[in-house]
Structure 1
Amino acid sequence: MSLNYSALFPANRLTAVNEAFEKAFGNVIINEASLLTGGLSAAAVYKIVANSQPYVMKLDVPGNQAAATSFERIALAATAGIAPPLRYKNPDTGIIISDFVESKPIRNIFSGTVLAERLAAAIKKTHAVAYTIPGDEMKDTVDGIVAGFRQSQVLSGPIPDELIAQYEQLKKVYPWHDTDKVFSHNDLNPTNILCDGTAIWIIDWDTAFLNDRYVDLAAVANFFIHSPEQETVFLHTYFGEVTDYQAARFYVMRQVSRIIYALMMLQLAGQNTTAGQVCDQQMEGIFLKDIGPMIGAGKISLATHEGQLLYGKALMNEAVEQMRSVRFSEALTVLGNH
């Protein structure tokens, strides 16, 4: 190896890192090593270039059970061909190495119904992975997010009140305790869905567990499915023939997903304030169709209070608008009668 890692990796991890490189790459030259950012976990993530090929190395807590479980999820997803190929895994040392995906904007590679079909196929492949470890009960999780939002008092008024009232109604009929659970990623936002120009890869499996299949379907649909034609292809690719019950449950979960992301983003905005700062309570005129493209173009940053607040409000307005619709009330009736 040709690089001096003493300034990049913790001194007490150097021996394990060198061993990982030797087992993963053999006696080759490490051309580059740099720290990456992002992801939900506190683990350090690095880009490694060995023999001019890029890889990702995650440096987690050695011997940590949570890390070991996460590593196993990554290995299962990689074996299924949905996570980037795995090169090295050692939970005892807390090191895992995978191929690095040079990601291209997925909407530039696939568009319209083709994008819907490819995304549904990726979710279907994920859900086919054999897995048995459950997570927290989803209803309890959402209830906790709603309670946290109420306690934070970051935003108040008729729109937040209506959102919570609608949630209280839908949670009475949604089949939270359905035992038909699958291996779910549980955070399929655009930063975790990569495209190399040909294939779709999913990363960041820390929050994966056995869960309601509609969680992943709803999250991806909210980010990428924006027309009735796309939705039809998306659901038919995943289910085959789509029943009224499946369509209703999918649509209701889309609103639950929007509620989750909206309230979490707003709470984050509330935490990301300066002393004495009061969050702007204005809700009118803040729509996802306007805010989303501005985020994509880099005009709004989700790392700032302002960006988090705007995005949270836009998601909330979208959820409320959808839950006012005839389609939503009909979907609740279908679930209630099932």
Structure 2
Amino acid sequence: MKTLGQAVSPEEHTLESAIREAALFGGGAGAGYAPVSGGISNSNWRVQLASGRDYFVKLPGNGTEMFIDRKAALDASQKAAAAGLGPAVYDDLAHHGIEINDFIPDRRPSTHADFALRDLRMEAMAAYRRMHGLPALGLTKTVFDMIDEHEAQMRELGSPWPRDTDWIKLNDRMAREALSASGLDLVPSFNDPMPGNFMIGGDGSIMLIDYEYASMNDRCYDLGIWFGEMFFTEEQEAEMIEEYFGKVTPQLVARVTIHKALADVKWAWWSMVQLKVSRLDFDFHKYGMWKLMRFRSITGSPSWATHLRNA
């Protein structure tokens, strides 16, 4: 770990200023810090005080204010913490958009391999039920809103568009019409199921971290985006839909699948925005193209038309 005064990079200088300013850190005397790997939006750090207390500090990534509402993220983090679903969160530097949480060393971030285990999949579904049962969040932002927001940003930034954009937008429009016809089921939604955001305890329990994309959204979006992120089989997805809803119906399968496809468009367009604004060392173009490949595989399947009818 580095100590105050050893900063070299711009991010380290910003972090040191934050450590000195936060009342929680008492001026930062004797504090050490080190980067935390993972995440493709922000700069993440572990801060250890002379007392031995550990904290997680998130510095906003360049341009993230375009699609992250930090006040809404704090609201979601506080409600999740109050429910025991997320770690304690502190608002010392919220006016800077900087998030401070308790560091949770007794838990580890999940991997895709973890959710090959049925018990952990079911524990994650229980975490989603708790998330969806939180008090209403202050921000309503559906996947429709997310896609529209990123498309406007792409036009403004001059981001690259895939050659089959018209075909993607056609399927996007059909998906929206199908879902809207039966109405959206808005609940507090996590919206960001990167494996590292599921923190697993020694007892197999799961805590969720990173609520910066959380909003009121359709519950099937939350399930669909996670199912897609983990590459579950159709049989596994059906099992988890039954675990969550108590039944499996063609409509539930359809709504989860359609939301899975829309999630890939959202994150593909997000990647094209990040390509223009982010300073992180990450191949956003490759990430976005991979998302679109999966979108094409879902919408190009013979079952796509059936899902649209069943939604």
Q: Please give the alpha-carbon distance, in whole angstroms, between the structure 2 residues aligned to 1:143 and 1:14.
A: 37
**1:259 aligns to what?**
265
Q: Please give the alpha-carbon distance, in whole angstroms, between the structure 1 residues aligned to 2:45 and 2:159.
A: 38
Counterpart check, 1:178 vs 2:158: no
- Point out where structure 2 has 5 or more consecutive residues left out of the alignment: 61-68
The verdict on how the C-alpha distance between 1:13 and 1:315 changes in structure 2, with shifts beyond 3 A counting, is closer
Counterpart check, 1:71 vs 2:74: yes
- CA deviation map 1:188-232 (0-9, x unaligned): 223433334433222221222222112211111111142122112
| Larger Rg, first or second structure (1 or 2) | 1
- CA deviation map 1:72-131 (0-9, x unaligned): 3212112222212x1744467767331334524434444243343222222111111112
Counterpart check, 1:99 vs 2:103: yes
The verdict on how the C-alpha distance between 1:206 and 1:105 changes in structure 2, with shifts beyond 3 A counting, is closer
Whether the 8 Å contact between 1:186 and 1:215 is mirrored in structure 2 is yes
Whether the 8 Å contact between 1:188 and 1:220 is mirrored in structure 2 is yes
- CA deviation map 1:215-269 (0-9, x unaligned): 2111111111421221122212221113322221111111101111123224544
Give the Å deviation of 1:323. 0.8
Q: Trace 1:1-338 onto structure 2 (pairs within 5 A).
A: 4=4, 16-17=21-22, 19-21=23-25, 32-36=32-36, 45-50=44-49, 51-52=51-52, 54-58=54-58, 67-84=70-87, 86=88, 88-90=90-92, 96-101=100-105, 103-136=108-141, 138-146=143-151, 152=158, 154-157=160-163, 159-175=164-180, 178=183, 180-197=185-202, 198-269=204-275, 271=276, 303-304=281-282, 307-335=283-311
What percent identity do the matched residue pairs reach? 20
TM-score of the superposed pair, with normalisation by structure 1? 0.70
Q: Please give the alpha-carbon distance, in whole angstroms, between the structure 2 residues aligned to 1:267 and 1:92.
A: 24
The verdict on how the C-alpha distance between 1:98 and 1:5 changes in structure 2, with shifts beyond 3 A counting, is farther
Q: Please give the alpha-carbon distance, in whole angstroms, between the structure 1 residues aligned to 2:13 and 2:286.
A: 37
Whether the 8 Å contact between 1:39 and 1:204 is mirrored in structure 2 is no
Amino acid aligned to 2:82: T
**1:280 aligns to what?**
none
TM-score of the superposed pair, with normalisation by structure 2? 0.75
Q: Please give the alpha-carbon distance, in whole angstroms, between the structure 2 residues aligned to 1:90 and 1:147.
A: 33
Query: How many aligned residue pairs are there?
Result: 289
**1:294 aligns to what?**
none
Q: Which has the higher contact order (CA 8 A, sep 6+)?
A: 2
- CA deviation map 1:34-64 (0-9, x unaligned): 355766777x75312345453314578xxxx
